[in-house]
Amino acid sequence: MKVGIFSDTHLGFDEKGERSQESFDNLAQAIRLCIDEGADVMVLCGDVFDAPVPSHNTLYNAVRAFSLAKEGSSSVSLSLKKEGEKSFLSYSGVPILAIHGNHEYLGKETKTALDVMHLAGLVTYFHAAEIIVEKGIGNAKEELVVHGLGAVPEKKALAVMQQWKSEPVAGAANIMLLHQSFKEFMAIDDEMVATLSLDDLPKGFGLIVNGHLHWANRQELGQHRHSDGEIHGVHATDTPKGAEPAVKTIFLLAGSTIATSIKKLECEYPKGIHIFDTTSGALSFMPLPRQRKMFYRQLTLREADSETATRECRAVIAQCLQTETPLKPLVRVNMKGSLKRGISPSDVNLAGIFEEFSGRAILSISKNFSAIDFKRKIADLREMQKLRLSVAQMGLEMLEKNLSETDFGEWPPAKELFGLLEEEEVDKAMQLLTSQRGGK
Ligand SMILES: [Mn+2]
């Protein structure tokens, strides 16, 4: 059987903006690609909708895009197995099996847009359950079991996985669908961010597909890294006597079909679909034929004046736009480093750049300058150390100094502000700042 795989379609993304049609166009392309590749079934790993309560326009466009699946055909039969009970599922065209993501789940009691799609017969939405996909009869009969677990809060994910304990079915191909973070892919180790690691995944699945992380990636699980540094597969001798030899598991981050935030990793790979052949175990990727190019550029400046900062930013963008593309590309510039003393990020006026490129690119520029150069910060700290100031005093002096370099100028009662911050009265501190700014 051939399985078409895609994820994170984020339908309705940028609804009020320039890219309002992109999520639907890309879903339509993904479905067409799957049909053209002869997929018997499609799977969608969550974040189908961008918002928990999509607008009627979004629902309308979603129904229209999902209806394309009816133009294909499939001969599989589907049944749902949940909590020991088995029920038959109907579909038209090529079925789309979907789990929910963190963007669309509203709790057990509330129906979501995915429930609506399910009832309309456009997708088959399931959670903490298995869908048995059967094709052919007699000796030619093929069976695929798709195990799906929609997004759960990251903090609970490990416990839920252990409790759910979905076992691969012997004699069938087994695929698992998830929508979680995995420690191996996250920059910080925090239980609010991820509790699952690849080692926690169950054994015996041919393919485990995860949504949520928007860049595509593929790993082989069930391998040992030996002391010689080489990767070896699990050998039959590694498994206990009498047990079946371990099945090689492919772990796939499906990646999103649309870029919702332009991250560096996401820009390195095109958006597309994957096709998994359950017989050969082959997994291939196909890019969406019509997609927006993405550029991520970091621009590091040192003690720059506003003119230099603007000029260099413009040059970076112009360089990205050397080759023409059918869709306006996304260009993200992350400006870093430092500005000259007395110049604040707001002095770097990018309005001209936005105007100049508005017809050719969708720009996103961030000004992450540190207020003062790192070197100078260290020098300041050394000075303070010499003075043997108390930590609180040191903090106050740093705050006064940093404030004097912002456009707050000489005004703020730094002592009062620092006192509030020290007491963790952030709201009051903000109030103090904004009340004063308003009067300026
Ligand atoms: Mn997502």
Check whether 387 has a pLDDT greater than 70: no
Tell me, in angstroms, the distance from the centre of ligand 1 to residue 233's CA: 32
- The alpha carbon of residue 225 and the mean position of all alpha carbons in its chain are separated, in whole angstroms, by 28
pLDDT for the residue 422 = 75
- Mean pLDDT throughout 23-34? 98
Report pLDDT digits (tens) over 372-385.
Answer: 656 666 677 777 76
Tell me, in angstroms, the distance from the centre of ligand 1 to residue 164's CA: 23
Tell me, in angstroms, the distance from the centre of ligand 1 to residue 327's CA: 22
Integer-rounded Cα radius of gyration of the chain:
27
Check whether 6 has a pLDDT greater than 70: yes
For residues 301 and 340, what is the distance between their CA atoms, to the nearest angstrom? 10
Domains, the chain: 2-287 (3.60.21.10), 294-367 (no CATH), 375-438 (no CATH)
Q: At 339, is the secondary structure helix, strand, or coil?
A: strand
Nearest to 180 by CA among 220, 146, 208, 145: 208
Using the CB atoms, write b or e for 5-43: b if 16+ within 10 Å: bbbbbbbbbbbeeebeebbbbbbbbbbbbbbeeebbbbb
Tell me, in angstroms, the distance from the centre of ligand 1 to residue 263's CA: 13
Report pLDDT digits (tens) over 302-321.
Answer: 999 999 999 999 999 999 99
Report pLDDT digits (tens) over 217-261.
Answer: 999 987 543 333 344 444 334 444 444 445 789 999 999 999 998
Tell me, in angstroms, the distance from the centre of ligand 1 to residue 403's CA: 38
For residues 111 and 61, what is the distance between their CA atoms, to the nearest angstrom? 19
Percent of the chain clearing pLDDT 70 (strictly above):
88
Tell me, in angstroms, the distance from the centre of ligand 1 to residue 211's CA: 7
The residue with greater pLDDT, 127 or 342, is 127
Tell me, in angstroms, the distance from the centre of ligand 1 to residue 205's CA: 24
For residues 163 and 165, what is the distance between their CA atoms, to the nearest angstrom? 5
pLDDT for the residue 267 = 81
Percent of the chain clearing pLDDT 90 (strictly above):
66
Tell me, in angstroms, the distance from the centre of ligand 1 to residue 257's CA: 10
For residues 132 and 152, what is the distance between their CA atoms, to the nearest angstrom? 23
Report pLDDT digits (tens) over 167-225.
Answer: 999 999 999 999 999 999 988 777 778 899 999 999 999 999 999 999 999 999 875 43
The DSSP-derived string for 398-436 is HHHHHHHTSTTTT-S-HHHHHHHHHTT-HHHHHHHHHHH
